[in-house]
Amino acid sequence: MLFEHDQRIVMTLDAGGTHFVFSAIQGCKEIVSPINFPSYANNLDRCLDTTVDGFKKIRKILPVQPVAISFAFPGPADYPRGIIGDLPNLPAFRDGVALGPMLEEKFQLPVFINNDGDLYAYGESIAGYLPYINHLLEKAGNPRRFQNLLGFTLGTGFGGGIVHAGQLLSGDNSGAGEVWLLRNKLHNGMNAEESISIRAVQREYARLASVPLDHVPSPKEIFEIGIGQRAGDRQAALGSFHHLAEVLGDAAANVVTIIDGIVVLGGGLAGAYPLFLDRMVEEMNSNFVNLEGQSYRRLSPRVFNLEDEKDLHLFLTGEIRQIAVPGSEKKMIYDPLTRVGVGISRIGANTAIAIGAYAFALNKLS
């Protein structure tokens, strides 16, 4: 694992609309008990004071001085310059707030701020799903290795990040991987997040079960209804996650078309994958039809559900064969099966984001 044995310490922050959680990472592991403060989302001065106080408290309990501050913060933002824009869930931030430069001045440390979806994907590529699946390929004796990863977070919203050959793709406007703004397959005038989020699952359950929205159970409870562990409208529960699956599969297929790589899902809704992952992969493996009525695959590679034992086996074994090198006695191992896989995070979104923030800072310092 990259930086697994690195002794440098980086202070981190998980910035949400209601709470800020401060911590520190060394060797890709959390080394302190996190400190939790209210975010004071509507009061800029209190919010900034809280940010400074949180990092001061973390610094006091560290065994050695940190080398940087690195964390995820909501956008829009000019992340490379550390300037935060107008934030819907942190209304105090308006007209551009130079958060990064302020912290650099206070702590005399380099400060790196990124989007949480980007850092999630980066963490999964370094210490999460990408090395996990490549390790399984190695154990299976398959020569294929994957270098590209698409990380999607499913929760309050629909977030994403892209890693290409070990490099995080941020974009010229810090806007790469903004998958929530993809077009919604089932509601043409809406974005994908309106069907891929906590509110979407609850809204769809309310519609299908014919119950008021304020009486709808949580997504976790809807999942439990769907698998028969809780009383409720099971068909509505299944339908709400099938709705998510179709839009998510369409969105993922659109991104895979451009960035060919492994897809990993994290966040609160990812735990409900038994109710939507098969449908998502089915959507990604669906067909287009041309004007002559001929059907053809929407994606060139075959998509595998890596949480399904049979699919995982086929993904790992592939179609390995030996081929001769023309004009030579040499032979080569060849696997002609073009494929991508979709799986669920093994380390969790919070851990992946923290590792991503840590590795991003150390890479920049190097």
Predicted confidence (pLDDT) per residue in 57-69, tens digit: 999 999 999 999 9
d(CA 146, CA 196): 26
pTM here is 0.92
Instruction: Please choose, from the candidates 232, 231, 236, 241, the residue with its C-alpha nearest in 3D space to the C-alpha of residue 200.
Output: 241
Instruction: Please choose, from the candidates 149, 157, 233, the residue with its C-alpha nearest in 3D space to the C-alpha of residue 194.
Output: 157
d(CA 69, CA 360): 10
Q: What is the predicted pLDDT for the residue at 88?
A: 81
The residues near 110 (Cβ < 8 Å, ≥ 6 apart) are 67, 68, 69, 104, 361, 364, 365
Q: What is the predicted pLDDT for the residue at 112?
A: 97
Q: In the block, which residue shows the tokens 């995080």?
A: 168
Task: Identify whether 334 is part of a domain.
Answer: yes
Instruction: Give the structural domain span for 312.
Output: 129-346
Task: Identify whether 139 is part of a domain.
Answer: yes
d(CA 132, CA 346): 8
Overall residue count recorded for the chain in this entry: 366
| CATH number of the CATH domain containing 111 | 3.30.420.40
Three-state secondary structure of the chain: CCCCCCCCEEEEEEECCCEEEEEEEECCEECCCCEEEECCCCCHHHHHHHHHHHHHHHHHCCCCCCCEEEEECCCCEEHHHCEECCCCCCCCCCCCECHHHHHHHHHCCCEEEECHHHHHHHHHHHHCHHHHHHHHHHHCCCCCCCCCEEEEEECCCEEEEEEECCEECCCCCCCCCCHHHCECCCCCCCEHHHCCCHHHHHHHHHHHHCCCHHHCCCHHHHHHHHCCCCCCCHHHHHHHHHHHHHHHHHHHHHHHHHCCCEEEEECHHHHHHHHCHHHHHHHHCCEEECCCCCEEECCCCEEEECCCHHHHHHHHHCCCEEEECCCCCCEEEECCCCEEEEEECCCCHHHHHHHHHHHHHHHHHC
Task: Identify whether 362 is part of a domain.
Answer: no
Predicted confidence (pLDDT) per residue in 329-348, tens digit: 999 988 899 999 999 999 99
Amino acid at 270: A
The residues near 122 (Cβ < 8 Å, ≥ 6 apart) are 151, 161, 163, 168, 352, 355, 356, 359, 360
- 290 and 326 share a domain? yes
Task: Identify whether 207 is part of a domain.
Answer: yes
- 73 and 162 share a domain? no
Q: Alpha-carbon dihedral of residues 194, 198, 204, 206, nearest 10 degrees?
A: -130
Task: Please tell me the total count of domains within the chain.
Answer: 2
Q: What is the predicted pLDDT for the residue at 1?
A: 63
- 105 and 137 share a domain? no
Q: Are 204 and 186 within 8 A, CB to CB?
A: no
Predicted confidence (pLDDT) per residue in 284-323, tens digit: 999 999 999 999 999 999 999 999 999 999 999 999 899 9
Task: Identify whether 195 is part of a domain.
Answer: yes
Query: Mean pLDDT in runs of 10 for the chain (366 residues)?
Result: 87 86 92 92 94 97 97 89 89 92 97 94 95 96 94 94 93 90 96 97 98 95 97 98 98 96 96 98 97 96 98 95 93 92 95 92 92
- 60 and 136 share a domain? no
- 199 and 325 share a domain? yes
- 47 and 151 share a domain? no
- 81 and 142 share a domain? no
- 210 and 236 share a domain? yes
- 175 and 60 share a domain? no
- 105 and 141 share a domain? no
Residue that is last in its domain, among 65, 86, 115? 115
- 133 and 34 share a domain? no
Q: What is the predicted pLDDT for the residue at 71?
A: 94
Query: Which residues on neighbouring strands pair with residue 322, listed in sequence order?
Result: 333
Task: Identify whether 123 is part of a domain.
Answer: no
- 167 and 49 share a domain? no
Task: Identify whether 47 is part of a domain.
Answer: yes
Task: Identify whether 224 is part of a domain.
Answer: yes
Residue that is last in its domain, among 115, 143, 167? 115
